[in-house]
């Protein structure tokens, strides 16, 4: 992108992807029709069906700039709580093996 504020083909002003284990996170800055910026955060996971084919399961959060500060405060507080209180993980259990879908069961 020649200009940071130039829209790409999907209307994104800025896009950053982060691979993290079995998931990929996409951070996309977009603009409304009124030229107000907002952020979408998308989690994408590859899922395999019984027939061996795969699809991507996606979850998306829309975050508007008036909520950035409170969102970051909450995220930072939650991350610090985990850092301070989570039990140590032995080398045999990688944190990327955690399946949050199973936590509700």
Q: What are the tens digits of pLDDT across the range 62-95?
A: 999 999 999 999 999 999 999 999 998 775 545 5
Report, at the CATH architecture level, how domain 12-86 is classified.
Answer: Roll (3.10)
Q: What are the tens digits of pLDDT across the range 30-54?
A: 998 888 999 999 999 988 888 888 8
Domain limits, the chain: 12-86
CA atoms within 13 A on the CB side of 33: 0
Is pTM beyond 0.75? Reply is: no
Question: Do the beta carbons of residue 30 and residue 15 sit within 8 Å?
Answer: no
Question: Do the beta carbons of residue 70 and residue 64 sit within 8 Å?
Answer: no
């Amino acid at each position: 992108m020649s200009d940071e504020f130039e829209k790409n083909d999907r209307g994104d002003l800025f896009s950053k992807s982060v691979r993290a284990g079995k998931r990929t996170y996409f951070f996309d800055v977009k603009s409304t029709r009124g030229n107000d910026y907002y952020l979408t955060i998308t989690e994408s996971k590859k899922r395999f069906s019984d027939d061996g084919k795969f699809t991507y399961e996606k979850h998306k959060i829309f975050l508007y700039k008036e909520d950035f500060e409170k969102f970051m405060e909450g995220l930072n507080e939650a991350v610090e709580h985990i850092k301070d209180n989570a039990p140590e993980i032995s080398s045999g259990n990688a944190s990327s093996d955690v399946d949050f879908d199973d936590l509700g069961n």
